[in-house]
Amino acid sequence: MGYYNSNDKKTGKRGYFASSFTGLIAGALLVGVISPGVTDAEPETAVGATTTESVSGVQTTSTLVTSDVTEIVEQTNDAVVGVSNLQMAQQNPFSAPTATDNEAQEAGAGSGVIYKKDGDTAYIVTNNHVVEGAEDVMVTLSDGTELDAEVLGTDVWTDLAVLKVPSKSIEIVAEFGDSSVLKAGEPVIAIGNPLGLQFSGSVTTGVISGTERLIPIDVNQDGTEDWQSEVLQTDAAINPGNSGGALINAKGQLIGINSMKIAQAAVEGIGLAIPINTAIPIIADLETEGAVERPSMGVAILDLAEVPAQYRTGQLGLPAEVEGGIVVQSVVEGSGAATAGMEAYDVIVELDGKPVKSILELRQYLYNETEVGDTLEVKAYRGGELMSFELELTESM
């Protein structure tokens, strides 16, 4: 969330959006992933001391049983915390004032994972949608200790957020695993707080149902797909409140951040998590910079699909064979696009030799394949003529 699994910084950055998550997808609830089992073989079980007692003539046997799952949970459970989103309640202007009118109330609760402890500070990763809109954030440790948390940064595209709290009461932190080596059928364990803190530390098990699943995300909830998140799929049960919790492999390593589920009447057992390899560079930026650095062309854009047909051949002068592209609405003064000579009503159809037919495709390419400072080759139609531009990408504001 030394944060990169590779020394190649560019590769780490380009993994950013192979997952995201503020996402509301059609028919999906954003809730944390709960996940599966232990090893590829039968779970190992150890039987401890056995005692037998007689109660009212009936003998009962008490046996201490441990397994791979129980051992992993015991080692990692304290790294999973409750995260409460506190907001000021809307007041009824006609009701009598109360002592709590000026106090923030819990508007929602989710989960989080302690991933680092550095001196007097501990760092927690959770989902953006867990802390979105919060005026205050409270973290509850596994032993019930409550800590005021500071939100260091949030990222709407990957649905991640980083918090910091005093580290005095914290001993256990999660160990990052490698989500790139996960295979379908691999057992995993999920820990979180379904339905709120009254079920804190709940454990579920299951398997990885699939990797590299693409889920459409409507970030601004305008009914248009803004992004496609690459996520891990698990068959574990997921409930509201698990968002931001831990998805752990059979070695007790954190390999995913529980984020959402498919919630439809005909669907059962499709839970989704942000792969940890995708989350690590995002976490690093949020912790140190408070935001994620992403490249920008310096243009306001519109999908060609939203432009009526008569304007495509008229005002834009596009050849009839051009069916997809991105219309430049305006160019930011001093930006890479402005310096390169791009203008309003240019229609972008290609980036670095790769066709792009929508804003979604343009955004996926920019955020996954380029970095701030890169030179981008753009091909766009202007008045029916295909033109080429070379522009330097700057940091998005």
- H helices of the chain, in order, are 9-14, 68-76, 128-131, 276-289, 309-313, 336-340, 359-369
Does residue 57 come out as left (phi exceeding 0), alpha (psi in the -120 to 50 range) or beta? left
**Integer Cα distance of 186 and 183 in angstroms:** 6
pLDDT of residue 56: 56
Residue located via tokens 């232990």: 38
What pLDDT digit, counting tens, does each position of 9-49 carry? 444 444 443 333 333 343 344 333 322 333 333 344 444 55
**Integer Cα distance of 65 and 367 in angstroms:** 49
**Integer Cα distance of 200 and 258 in angstroms:** 15
What pLDDT digit, counting tens, does each position of 120-151 carry? 999 999 999 999 999 999 999 999 999 999 99
Q: What are phi and psi of 274, to 5 degrees?
A: -80, 120
189 touches 73 (CB < 8 A)? yes
Residues noted as catalytic? 129, 159, 243
3-class SS at 315?
Answer: coil
389 touches 358 (CB < 8 A)? no
Instruction: Work out the burial of residue 354: count CB atoms within 10 Å of its CB; fewer than 13 is exposed, 13-18 middle, 19 or more buried.
Output: exposed
**Integer Cα distance of 289 and 260 in angstroms:** 26
Enumerate the β-bridge partners of residue 202. Answer: 192
pLDDT of residue 61: 53
**Integer Cα distance of 65 and 201 in angstroms:** 19
Tens digit of pLDDT at every position of the chain (397 positions): 343 333 344 444 444 433 333 333 433 443 333 223 333 333 444 445 555 555 556 665 555 555 688 889 889 999 999 999 999 876 666 666 665 566 778 888 899 999 999 999 999 999 999 999 999 999 999 999 999 999 999 999 999 999 999 999 999 999 999 999 999 999 999 998 877 777 787 888 899 999 988 888 888 777 778 888 889 998 877 777 788 999 999 999 999 999 876 666 666 678 899 999 999 999 999 999 999 989 999 999 999 999 998 888 888 989 988 989 999 999 999 999 999 999 999 999 999 999 999 999 999 999 989 999 999 999 999 988 999 999 999 987 6
- Check residue 7 and report its DSSP letter: S
Q: Which two tokens stand for residue 368?
A: 């996954």
Q: Which two tokens stand for residue 319?
A: 């050849």
* Integer CA distances (angstroms), 129 to 76, 280, 358, in order: 24, 18, 26
- Least Cα distance to 186 among 175, 176, 194, 178 occurs for 178
**Integer Cα distance of 256 and 186 in angstroms:** 13
Residue located via tokens 């696009």: 337
- Least Cα distance to 35 among 153, 151, 205 occurs for 205
pLDDT of residue 267: 65
Q: What are phi and psi of 189, to 5 degrees?
A: -125, 135
pLDDT of residue 33: 36
